[in-house]
Structure 1
Amino acid sequence: MRFTGTEDYVATDDLTVAVNAAITLQRPLLVKGEPGTGKTELARQVAAALKVPMLEWAVKSTTRAQQGLYEYDAVSRLRDSQLGDDRVHDISNYIRKGKLWQAFDADERVVLLIDEIDKADIEFPNDLLQELDKMEFHVYETGETIAAKHRPIVIITSNNEKELPDAFLRRCFFHYIKFPDAETLAKIVEVHHPGIKPALLTTALTQFFSVRDQQGLKKKPSTSEMLDWLKLLLAEDLSAEDLKSDPSSALPRLHGALLKNEQDVHLFERLAFMARGGR
């Protein structure tokens, strides 16, 4: 199994090397990068390229590691026992399989995405160390050990909101997705908006990188926001000349797709005010 990218996903050489290295080493691939740089989409595209199913475990602040293994529904069992239901005699009826169990139990190799692991409690990664390392876990209620039939390709994403434990990092192959340069971003745009006029693309990219490079910006626009902005420009049938039509305004056309908080909008409004000589 080797990943070389897909028609729908522009993968840089260093990213494809990272994916294939993780597959060869049979280690989880830990992917970091700015929000909107395609970390989650990477897992979907790896699954599509390798023609294997994908399971997605979206981590939240309340997510516990145990939920990825299984959950025992003691409340339902108690209720059924009070109602005289025969199901209570088989405790397995009250075991809910988590995403790791589903991945381990699959009849073929799967891609398992653990998305935004840094949202959970700091102990969350440590609680998964043994399971991800040995690819097995014990179910205490039934006494059985669940071992992976086929070792899944594990892709873990992080937005770097909090530091991950060293012991966890040691078990992963790490890759940081850098923000794409203009050439790579143009290739990404061509995938999503084929046939876009070169003049419009050049002007849009120039304005986009001008926004990203502005000092004092609280949130830099991401790749996904750039694609949304271009979609709006095309829907409004705007040309390169339209984007340049108001040189006195520092705000790009349809800037709501790029700037996502009032501080950044006010920053560009102040720049426009100063460019007009403070009048």
Structure 2
Amino acid sequence: MKFSSLGSGSSGNSSFVQMGSKKFLIDAGFSGKKISEKLNNIKVRPEDINGIFVTHEHSDHIQGLGIVSRRYDIPIYIHEVTYREVQEKIGKIDPKNLNFIKGDKTIIGDCVINNFEVMHDAVKCLGYTFEYEDKKLSYASDVGCVNNIIKENLKNSDVIVLESNYDYNMLMTGPYHWELKNRVKGRNGHLSNSEASKLIAQVLCKKLKKIYLMHISKDNNTPELAYNSLYSILERENKEDLEIEIITEEQTKMYSL
């Protein structure tokens, strides 16, 4: 398995996962041109993508979805209620490339992609786990609160990619008006550094090798604060040798599991 974030933040979100010979995107929140350029940067041809898995309907996750699917004949995997929300925004999709996610498991060749619902201010928001042979990558962005569903799905992972959106003190003393502050820290908002770190501590296992922290707020967080919050938890658990990488709006290098 291989993983690379194409970028994460308010201006766009998309990630690449390879499982054997199969290649997938999670979300397509940049322009079609940018997604193509970012894939070329990691030596992946856009036309070789086998599917795009959509987390939810917000524009920073679906901006290039329609055009990339049409241009490169790529299947989309999306919940039906999410599709109803984005249908007009993404334009006409070839019926053969429109796959509604039903149940909690999608099997494509030897690849198993599980989905699980997370709390967020969207009609439906999904996290995913990608399992191939004995490897597992778990991905949860835009998470309002931690619950047992998320914990169970993140267990036994080799790699975890998780939102660490805001620092509580920065949010509360920052420029956002109170309504927006309450939305960010509410059950349908985002995960704080502290909440993300505590969740990681609850799902630590021997096989976990790397943790990515993503969706770092420009206004209410810094990469250093997100990193230090998690590192202090890992240090307490004698797991400070685990690799931590902060995903910003810039693309990350390819990581092989």
Same fold (TM over 0.5): no
State which structure, 1 or 2, has the greater radius of gyration over its C-alpha atoms.
1
Structure having the higher strand fraction is 2
- Compare relative contact order (CA 8 Å, sep 6+) and give the higher one, 1 or 2: 1
TM-score normalised according to structure 2 size: 0.28
Structure having the higher helix fraction is 1
